[in-house]
């Protein structure tokens, strides 16, 4: 993550990161420490594959803990109060053509999951619809060119 980078999250996304951090600290960290103790008890550390594996796992775990702590500390939680205007946290329905509609939830980039119709506020559609109301025609600028959609509903 870049210095001074702010992470945009929905309240659910913030909770998910917080839960992962707690699980890593309370459950995974003690497991890794026990694996290290066991590997040390096997003797010669210079040729101990179990010890090397446990040290690598510990390094990855501590790196992920630091990353999560940073993201949580530098996050902005967007709780969309105005349900009439598309924003992070909104569920939207857009129409590409007559009878060709799609529903999305707009989330922060860390929570994006296109396979579950969660699009980032930084995606072409996310950027285009934020701040608009249902019924508006919106121009979407994408890497493949621009196109028009109708924002059918916002909730």
Tell me the pLDDT of the chain averaged across its residues: 90
Domain ranges within the chain, ordered by starting residue: 7-77, 91-154
**Greater pLDDT, 83 or 113:** 113
pLDDT at position 3 over 70? no
pLDDT at position 97 over 90? no
pLDDT tens digit string along 30-80? 999 998 888 888 777 777 788 888 899 999 999 999 999 999 999 999 877
Residue 151 CB: number of other CB atoms within 10 A? 21
Provide CATH code, domain 7-77. 1.10.287.180
- 9 closest CA partner among 90, 64, 91, 89: 89
φ, ψ at 130 (rounded to 5°): -60, 130
Q: What is the pTM of this model?
A: 0.75
CB burial string 46-84: b at 16+ within 10 A, e below: eeeeebeebbeebeebeeebeebeebeeebebbebeeee
Mean pLDDT throughout 110-134?
Answer: 94
Q: What is the pLDDT of residue 2?
A: 52
Judged on CB neighbours under 10 Å (0-12, 13-18, 19+), 42 is exposed
91-154: CATH topology? Chitinase A; domain 3 (3.10.50)
Is-contact 120 109, C-beta < 8 A?
yes
Min mean pLDDT across 60-64, 75-79, 123-127, 139-143 is at: 75-79
Mean pLDDT throughout 3-24?
Answer: 88
Q: CA-CA distance, 125 to 120, in Å (whole number)?
A: 8
């Amino acid at each position: 993550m870049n210095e001074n980078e702010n992470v945009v999250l929905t309240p659910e996304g913030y909770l998910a990161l917080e839960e992962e951090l707690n699980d890593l600290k309370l459950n995974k960290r003690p497991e890794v420490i026990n694996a290290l103790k066991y590997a040390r008890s096997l003797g010669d550390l210079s040729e101990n594959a179990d010890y090397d594996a446990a040290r690598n796992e510990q390094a990855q775990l501590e790196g992920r803990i630091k990353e999560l702590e940073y993201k949580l500390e530098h996050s902005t939680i967007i709780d969309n109060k105005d349900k009439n205007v598309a924003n992070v946290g909104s569920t939207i329905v857009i129409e590409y053509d007559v009878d060709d509609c799609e529903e999305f939830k707009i989330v922060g980039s860390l929570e994006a999951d296109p396979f579950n119709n969660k699009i980032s506020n930084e995606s072409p559609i996310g950027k285009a619809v934020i701040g608009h109301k249902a019924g508006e025609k919106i121009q979407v600028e994408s890497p493949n060119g621009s196109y028009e959609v109708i924002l059918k509903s916002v909730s």
